[in-house]
Amino acid sequence: MSERQDGSARATVLSVLLLLVTVVWGWTFPVVKDAVAGYGVVAFLATRFAMAAVVLAPLGLRRATRGSWRTGAGIGLVLVAAYLLQTFGIRYTSATNSGLITGLFVVFAPLWNRLLFGVRTDRIFAGAIAVSVLGLGLLTGAGAGLPTLGDGLTLGCAILFGLHIALLDRYSREYDPWALVLAQVTVTAVVLGIAWPLSEPLTAPSGAVWGALLLTGLAATAGGFTIQTAAQRHLPAVRVAVILTMEPVFATFFGRALAGDRLGALQLAGGALMVVALLVANIHGARIARAATP
Protein backbone atom coordinates (compact mmCIF):
# COMPACT_ATOMS: atom_id res chain seq x y z
CA MET A 1 0.00 0.00 0.00
CA SER A 2 1.37 3.45 -0.93
CA GLU A 3 1.87 6.18 1.66
CA ARG A 4 -1.05 8.10 0.16
CA GLN A 5 -3.37 5.08 0.37
CA ASP A 6 -2.17 4.30 3.88
CA GLY A 7 -2.89 7.87 5.05
CA SER A 8 -6.34 7.84 3.47
CA ALA A 9 -7.16 4.42 4.99
CA ARG A 10 -5.98 5.55 8.42
CA ALA A 11 -8.13 8.68 8.23
CA THR A 12 -11.14 6.57 7.23
CA VAL A 13 -10.63 4.12 10.10
CA LEU A 14 -10.24 6.96 12.60
CA SER A 15 -13.36 8.64 11.24
CA VAL A 16 -15.36 5.43 11.70
CA LEU A 17 -14.03 4.94 15.23
CA LEU A 18 -14.88 8.55 16.06
CA LEU A 19 -18.37 8.00 14.70
CA LEU A 20 -18.76 4.99 17.01
CA VAL A 21 -17.67 7.21 19.89
CA THR A 22 -20.57 9.55 19.10
CA VAL A 23 -22.94 6.59 19.47
CA VAL A 24 -21.63 5.99 22.99
CA TRP A 25 -21.68 9.69 23.89
CA GLY A 26 -25.23 10.01 22.54
CA TRP A 27 -26.26 7.05 24.68
CA THR A 28 -24.89 8.69 27.83
CA PHE A 29 -27.32 11.66 27.82
CA PRO A 30 -30.45 9.87 29.09
CA VAL A 31 -28.29 7.61 31.27
CA VAL A 32 -26.56 10.56 32.97
CA LYS A 33 -29.84 12.45 33.37
CA ASP A 34 -31.30 9.52 35.33
CA ALA A 35 -28.11 9.07 37.36
CA VAL A 36 -27.74 12.67 38.55
CA ALA A 37 -31.45 12.95 39.34
CA GLY A 38 -30.68 11.09 42.55
CA TYR A 39 -26.93 11.55 42.95
CA GLY A 40 -24.68 14.60 43.15
CA VAL A 41 -23.35 16.10 39.92
CA VAL A 42 -19.84 16.69 41.27
CA ALA A 43 -19.79 13.27 42.95
CA PHE A 44 -20.81 11.58 39.71
CA LEU A 45 -18.23 13.41 37.61
CA ALA A 46 -15.41 12.94 40.12
CA THR A 47 -16.03 9.19 40.26
CA ARG A 48 -16.43 8.97 36.48
CA PHE A 49 -13.10 10.62 35.74
CA ALA A 50 -11.29 8.81 38.56
CA MET A 51 -12.37 5.48 37.03
CA ALA A 52 -11.13 6.62 33.62
CA ALA A 53 -7.77 7.71 35.07
CA VAL A 54 -7.24 4.33 36.76
CA VAL A 55 -7.98 2.49 33.50
CA LEU A 56 -5.67 4.72 31.43
CA ALA A 57 -2.77 4.81 33.93
CA PRO A 58 -0.99 1.57 32.91
CA LEU A 59 -0.48 2.74 29.32
CA GLY A 60 -0.42 6.50 29.83
CA LEU A 61 2.18 6.66 32.60
CA ARG A 62 4.77 4.90 30.47
CA ARG A 63 4.41 7.48 27.72
CA ALA A 64 3.92 10.58 29.84
CA THR A 65 6.34 13.51 29.81
CA ARG A 66 6.43 16.83 31.61
CA GLY A 67 5.10 18.44 28.46
CA SER A 68 2.16 16.05 28.15
CA TRP A 69 1.24 16.57 31.81
CA ARG A 70 1.47 20.36 31.51
CA THR A 71 -0.52 20.55 28.27
CA GLY A 72 -3.03 17.89 29.30
CA ALA A 73 -3.60 19.66 32.61
CA GLY A 74 -4.56 22.87 30.82
CA ILE A 75 -6.92 21.04 28.48
CA GLY A 76 -8.30 19.11 31.46
CA LEU A 77 -9.35 22.34 33.18
CA VAL A 78 -11.47 23.12 30.11
CA LEU A 79 -13.07 19.68 30.49
CA VAL A 80 -13.85 20.34 34.16
CA ALA A 81 -15.81 23.47 33.32
CA ALA A 82 -17.48 21.92 30.27
CA TYR A 83 -18.70 18.83 32.09
CA LEU A 84 -19.91 20.77 35.12
CA LEU A 85 -22.01 23.01 32.88
CA GLN A 86 -23.31 20.06 30.85
CA THR A 87 -24.15 17.83 33.82
CA PHE A 88 -25.78 20.55 35.90
CA GLY A 89 -27.60 21.65 32.74
CA ILE A 90 -29.07 18.21 32.06
CA ARG A 91 -30.85 18.41 35.41
CA TYR A 92 -32.97 21.27 34.08
CA THR A 93 -33.60 20.27 30.47
CA SER A 94 -34.42 17.09 28.57
CA ALA A 95 -31.77 14.54 27.60
CA THR A 96 -32.55 15.27 23.95
CA ASN A 97 -32.17 19.03 24.34
CA SER A 98 -28.90 18.56 26.20
CA GLY A 99 -27.48 16.42 23.41
CA LEU A 100 -28.67 18.74 20.67
CA ILE A 101 -27.43 21.97 22.22
CA THR A 102 -24.09 20.34 23.04
CA GLY A 103 -23.81 19.72 19.29
CA LEU A 104 -23.30 23.44 18.75
CA PHE A 105 -19.61 22.85 19.44
CA VAL A 106 -19.42 22.34 15.66
CA VAL A 107 -19.76 26.12 15.36
CA PHE A 108 -17.44 27.05 18.18
CA ALA A 109 -14.54 24.71 17.33
CA PRO A 110 -13.53 26.49 14.09
CA LEU A 111 -14.20 29.87 15.72
CA TRP A 112 -11.78 29.04 18.54
CA ASN A 113 -9.28 27.67 16.03
CA ARG A 114 -9.44 30.91 14.08
CA LEU A 115 -9.30 33.11 17.17
CA LEU A 116 -6.45 31.29 18.96
CA PHE A 117 -4.38 29.83 16.13
CA GLY A 118 -5.38 31.70 12.96
CA VAL A 119 -6.65 28.54 11.23
CA ARG A 120 -9.00 29.27 8.33
CA THR A 121 -11.92 26.98 7.53
CA ASP A 122 -12.11 25.39 4.08
CA ARG A 123 -15.21 26.50 2.11
CA ILE A 124 -16.66 23.03 1.77
CA PHE A 125 -16.12 22.31 5.45
CA ALA A 126 -17.70 25.69 6.21
CA GLY A 127 -20.69 24.67 4.10
CA ALA A 128 -20.93 21.38 5.98
CA ILE A 129 -20.90 23.30 9.26
CA ALA A 130 -23.67 25.58 7.99
CA VAL A 131 -25.80 22.58 7.00
CA SER A 132 -25.11 20.97 10.41
CA VAL A 133 -26.22 24.13 12.20
CA LEU A 134 -29.37 24.32 10.07
CA GLY A 135 -30.12 20.71 10.91
CA LEU A 136 -29.41 21.34 14.57
CA GLY A 137 -31.72 24.35 14.47
CA LEU A 138 -34.54 22.18 13.16
CA LEU A 139 -33.82 19.54 15.78
CA THR A 140 -33.76 21.97 18.69
CA GLY A 141 -36.32 24.50 17.49
CA ALA A 142 -39.16 22.47 16.03
CA GLY A 143 -41.82 22.05 18.65
CA ALA A 144 -39.57 23.34 21.44
CA GLY A 145 -40.64 25.75 24.14
CA LEU A 146 -38.74 28.69 25.60
CA PRO A 147 -35.09 28.09 26.55
CA THR A 148 -34.56 26.94 30.14
CA LEU A 149 -31.74 27.41 32.65
CA GLY A 150 -30.53 23.96 31.60
CA ASP A 151 -30.43 25.06 27.95
CA GLY A 152 -28.29 28.08 28.87
CA LEU A 153 -25.85 26.02 30.92
CA THR A 154 -25.58 23.50 28.11
CA LEU A 155 -24.83 26.26 25.60
CA GLY A 156 -21.88 27.23 27.81
CA CYS A 157 -20.65 23.64 27.71
CA ALA A 158 -20.89 23.64 23.89
CA ILE A 159 -18.63 26.71 23.76
CA LEU A 160 -16.08 24.95 25.96
CA PHE A 161 -16.24 21.66 24.05
CA GLY A 162 -15.49 23.66 20.91
CA LEU A 163 -12.43 25.04 22.71
CA HIS A 164 -11.45 21.50 23.71
CA ILE A 165 -11.50 20.37 20.06
CA ALA A 166 -9.43 23.38 18.98
CA LEU A 167 -6.83 22.76 21.71
CA LEU A 168 -6.53 19.08 20.79
CA ASP A 169 -6.13 20.07 17.14
CA ARG A 170 -3.20 22.25 18.13
CA TYR A 171 -1.45 19.98 20.65
CA SER A 172 -2.42 16.33 19.98
CA ARG A 173 0.32 15.90 17.35
CA GLU A 174 3.02 16.82 19.87
CA TYR A 175 2.31 14.13 22.46
CA ASP A 176 1.37 10.48 22.74
CA PRO A 177 -2.45 10.17 22.81
CA TRP A 178 -2.48 7.86 25.85
CA ALA A 179 -0.31 10.28 27.83
CA LEU A 180 -2.30 13.35 26.81
CA VAL A 181 -5.66 11.74 27.66
CA LEU A 182 -4.36 10.47 30.99
CA ALA A 183 -3.26 13.99 31.93
CA GLN A 184 -6.65 15.42 30.98
CA VAL A 185 -8.76 12.94 32.91
CA THR A 186 -6.41 12.86 35.93
CA VAL A 187 -6.48 16.62 36.37
CA THR A 188 -10.25 16.62 35.87
CA ALA A 189 -10.65 13.86 38.49
CA VAL A 190 -8.39 15.67 40.99
CA VAL A 191 -10.15 19.03 40.65
CA LEU A 192 -13.59 17.46 40.93
CA GLY A 193 -12.43 15.23 43.79
CA ILE A 194 -11.33 18.31 45.74
CA ALA A 195 -14.63 20.06 44.97
CA TRP A 196 -16.78 17.06 45.93
CA PRO A 197 -16.68 17.34 49.76
CA LEU A 198 -16.91 21.12 49.51
CA SER A 199 -20.14 20.99 47.51
CA GLU A 200 -21.93 17.69 48.17
CA PRO A 201 -22.07 14.90 50.77
CA LEU A 202 -19.51 12.09 50.41
CA THR A 203 -21.98 9.31 49.67
CA ALA A 204 -21.45 6.09 47.71
CA PRO A 205 -23.32 5.57 44.42
CA SER A 206 -26.30 3.22 44.27
CA GLY A 207 -26.37 0.16 42.01
CA ALA A 208 -28.12 2.00 39.17
CA VAL A 209 -25.64 4.89 39.34
CA TRP A 210 -22.74 2.42 39.16
CA GLY A 211 -24.05 1.24 35.81
CA ALA A 212 -24.01 4.82 34.51
CA LEU A 213 -20.50 5.31 35.92
CA LEU A 214 -19.18 2.21 34.16
CA LEU A 215 -20.61 3.38 30.83
CA THR A 216 -19.41 6.97 31.15
CA GLY A 217 -16.12 6.33 32.95
CA LEU A 218 -14.81 3.45 30.87
CA ALA A 219 -16.44 3.62 27.43
CA ALA A 220 -17.31 7.32 27.08
CA THR A 221 -14.33 8.88 28.88
CA ALA A 222 -11.37 6.48 28.80
CA GLY A 223 -12.22 5.00 25.41
CA GLY A 224 -13.92 8.01 23.81
CA PHE A 225 -11.30 10.63 24.62
CA THR A 226 -8.44 8.32 23.67
CA ILE A 227 -9.98 7.78 20.23
CA GLN A 228 -10.72 11.51 19.84
CA THR A 229 -7.16 12.48 20.78
CA ALA A 230 -5.68 9.87 18.43
CA ALA A 231 -8.01 10.97 15.62
CA GLN A 232 -7.03 14.62 15.99
CA ARG A 233 -3.39 13.71 15.35
CA HIS A 234 -4.43 12.95 11.76
CA LEU A 235 -7.73 14.72 11.08
CA PRO A 236 -8.33 18.49 10.98
CA ALA A 237 -10.40 19.97 13.79
CA VAL A 238 -13.24 21.00 11.49
CA ARG A 239 -13.60 17.45 10.14
CA VAL A 240 -13.63 16.09 13.69
CA ALA A 241 -16.24 18.66 14.69
CA VAL A 242 -18.53 17.68 11.82
CA ILE A 243 -18.18 13.97 12.67
CA LEU A 244 -18.99 14.72 16.29
CA THR A 245 -22.21 16.45 15.27
CA MET A 246 -23.62 12.93 15.04
CA GLU A 247 -23.52 12.90 18.84
CA PRO A 248 -26.73 14.98 19.11
CA VAL A 249 -28.37 12.78 16.47
CA PHE A 250 -27.69 9.70 18.59
CA ALA A 251 -28.64 11.62 21.73
CA THR A 252 -31.99 12.28 20.09
CA PHE A 253 -32.40 8.61 19.18
CA PHE A 254 -31.55 7.40 22.68
CA GLY A 255 -33.63 10.19 24.23
CA ARG A 256 -36.60 8.79 22.36
CA ALA A 257 -35.78 5.14 23.01
CA LEU A 258 -34.81 5.43 26.69
CA ALA A 259 -36.42 8.63 27.98
CA GLY A 260 -39.58 8.79 25.87
CA ASP A 261 -38.70 12.06 24.08
CA ARG A 262 -40.60 12.51 20.82
CA LEU A 263 -39.58 14.06 17.47
CA GLY A 264 -41.66 15.73 14.79
CA ALA A 265 -41.16 15.71 11.03
CA LEU A 266 -39.00 18.87 11.04
CA GLN A 267 -36.76 17.46 13.75
CA LEU A 268 -36.27 14.27 11.74
CA ALA A 269 -35.43 16.41 8.69
CA GLY A 270 -32.87 18.25 10.80
CA GLY A 271 -31.21 14.96 11.74
CA ALA A 272 -31.09 13.96 8.07
CA LEU A 273 -29.36 17.25 7.17
CA MET A 274 -26.72 16.60 9.81
CA VAL A 275 -26.05 13.14 8.38
CA VAL A 276 -25.64 14.67 4.90
CA ALA A 277 -23.19 17.23 6.31
CA LEU A 278 -21.21 14.43 7.92
CA LEU A 279 -20.94 12.51 4.66
CA VAL A 280 -19.88 15.60 2.70
CA ALA A 281 -17.23 16.52 5.29
CA ASN A 282 -15.75 13.04 5.33
CA ILE A 283 -15.69 12.64 1.55
CA HIS A 284 -14.07 16.05 1.19
CA GLY A 285 -11.65 15.31 4.03
CA ALA A 286 -10.56 12.09 2.32
CA ARG A 287 -9.90 14.00 -0.92
CA ILE A 288 -7.77 16.56 0.95
CA ALA A 289 -5.78 13.76 2.61
CA ARG A 290 -5.11 12.06 -0.74
CA ALA A 291 -4.06 15.34 -2.35
CA ALA A 292 -1.74 16.25 0.53
CA THR A 293 0.08 12.90 0.57
CA PRO A 294 2.94 12.71 -1.94
The Cβ-side half-sphere exposure at 43, using a 13 Å CA radius, reads 17
In the prediction, which pLDDT does 105 show? Answer: 83
Residues of the chain with pLDDT under 70: 1-7, 139-147, 259-263, 278, 282, 285-286, 288-294
User: For residues 262 and 133, what is the distance between their CA atoms, to the nearest angstrom?
Assistant: 20
Please name the residues in contact with 107: beta carbons below 8 A apart, sequence gap of 6 or more: 129, 133, 162
pLDDT attached to residue 285: 67
The dihedrals phi and psi of 205, each to the nearest 5 degrees, come to -70, 155
Contact 48, 270 (CB under 8 A): no
Buried b (16+ CB within 10 A) or exposed e, 206-236: eeebeebbebbbbbbbbbbbbbbbbbbbbbb
* Cβ proximity of 240 and 71 under 8 Å: no
Contact assessment for residue 35 and residue 214, using Cβ atoms and an 8 Å cutoff: no
**pLDDT for position 38:** 86
Distance in Å from the first CA to the final CA of the chain: 13
Q: Check residue 5 and give its pLDDT.
A: 58
Amino acid identity of 85?
A: L
Q: What is the per-residue pLDDT for 286?
A: 64
Residue 236: its pLDDT value, please? 81
**Predicted pLDDT of residue 261:** 66
For position 249, what pLDDT does the model report?
Answer: 80
